[in-house]
Amino acid sequence: QVHLVESGGGLAQAGGSLRLSCAASGGTLSNYAMGWFRQAPGKEREFVAAVNWSGVRIYYADSVKGRFSISRDNAKNTLYLQMNSLKPSDSAVYYCAAVPSDRSRLRRLDAIVYDYWGQGTQVTVSS
């Protein structure tokens, strides 16, 4: 079992940038595909971005394409989400999630059931 802790959230102006980090412990990050999800008040949790175990396969939700970038540093057991050109609609609690890589191979990364979740970090974008 892997434990995930998000950080880097905060307050940003519209058009600004934030970088989120997700530190993993209790497991080797290279054994997992990793994803970012977000949930705004009163809304369902939605997929944002995901990356396979090696960092080669990446998938983004249409709403963040061209603005967000997901990456991972397996040597540091850390997942990142660089968020640029932020919009007020990006305001949400952002969660990182992990799924064993055996279940991610040859699958769309947004269609996988992720097993492990962090507690989230708040992102607020003002207009």
For residue 104, pLDDT over 90 is answered with no
Cβ–Cβ < 8 Å for 23, 77: yes
- Which pLDDT score, from 0 to 100, does residue 94 have? 98
Q: Identify the H or E element spanning 18.
A: strand 18-25
Condensed to tens digits (0 to 9), the pLDDT of residues 75-96 reads 999 999 999 999 999 999 999 9
Cβ–Cβ < 8 Å for 123, 92: yes
Cβ–Cβ < 8 Å for 123, 83: yes
Condensed to tens digits (0 to 9), the pLDDT of residues 28-82 reads 889 999 999 999 999 999 999 999 988 899 999 999 999 999 999 989 999 999 9
State the DSSP code for 53.
T
Count of CB atoms situated within 10 Å of the CB of 19 = 14
- Which pLDDT score, from 0 to 100, does residue 39 have? 98
Measured between its terminal Cα atoms, the distance across the chain in Å is 40
The identity of residue 17, as a single letter, is S
The identity of residue 94, as a single letter, is Y
Q: What does the mean pLDDT of the chain come to?
A: 95
Provide the token pair at 2: 């892997």
Question: How far apart are alpha carbons 79 and 51 in whole angstroms?
Answer: 9
- Which pLDDT score, from 0 to 100, does residue 34 have? 96
Q: Among all chains, which residue has been given the structure tokens 């949930």?
A: 39
Cβ–Cβ < 8 Å for 82, 17: yes
CA 15 to chain centre: 20
